[in-house]
Amino acid sequence: MTTVAELPAGFADKVLSAQSTFRSVMDAMARPGSVQRIAADAGTPAAMMRGTAAIALTLFDHDTPIWLDSRMSETSDVAKWLKFHTSAPVIADSSISSFALIGSPRELPALDRFAFGSNEYPDRSTTLILQIDSLTQGPALELRGPGIDGTAILQAAIQPHDLFERLAINVALFPRGIDVVLVHDDAIVAIPRTTRLVARGG
């Protein structure tokens, strides 16, 4: 039984840490495929990487229902930590979540379990936060789309391996869709719904 006093800490400086973390996420979203660093330090529950924890402390609050995957909800640590630091409701129904935290991306549920938004309000969609093994090593992926000058190369150990095939629904559904933030330790890469995979390298 973890008491509140034993929970990992949040940001030491709430205001400026949230600001610098947001700018990293904003830059990542504005430049898909580019690796951004999160400088702010925060305590993390065991299942969470530093980047995930910083994003949670920056963007989550009582207005954002959060869905946790099996890895994140293995123990109640993550849910307790989120509740204490952000007041965000942790919910069981992924289809109405604002953010979904995915600790074991190989078991990512089908994307239609999440919210795509509506054609009138495509912003009412779930943002997936996927913790993966590497954002510097792995097969090269060539990406194209708004925010990218020509093409961008991302080298990453993408999990699930068919993530981009699944994200093809973003082409058919646009402007509805799913935005993804990949996290490894303190590095993040964003794949907004406008980004397309053009080629896969070795």
Binders of other proteins among residues 150 to 169 (CB under 8 A) are none
The reply to whether 149 sits near other proteins by the rule CB under 8 A is yes
The reply to whether 6 sits near other proteins by the rule CB under 8 A is no
CB 195 within 8 A of CB 144: yes
The reply to whether 80 sits near other proteins by the rule CB under 8 A is no
Of the pair 89, 138, the CB lying nearest other proteins is at 89
CA distance 124 to 116: 7
Of the pair 171, 199, the CB lying nearest other proteins is at 171
CA distance 100 to 108: 10
Question: Helices 14-30 and 50-59 meet at what angle, rounded to 10?
Answer: 100
The reply to whether 148 sits near other proteins by the rule CB under 8 A is yes
Q: Where are the alpha helices (DSSP H) in the chain?
A: 14-30, 50-59, 77-86, 163-166, 169-173
Q: Which residues bind other proteins (CB under 8 A)?
A: 14-16, 18-20, 22-23, 25-26, 29-31, 58-61, 63-64, 98, 118-123, 125, 127, 146-149, 174-175, 177, 179, 192-194
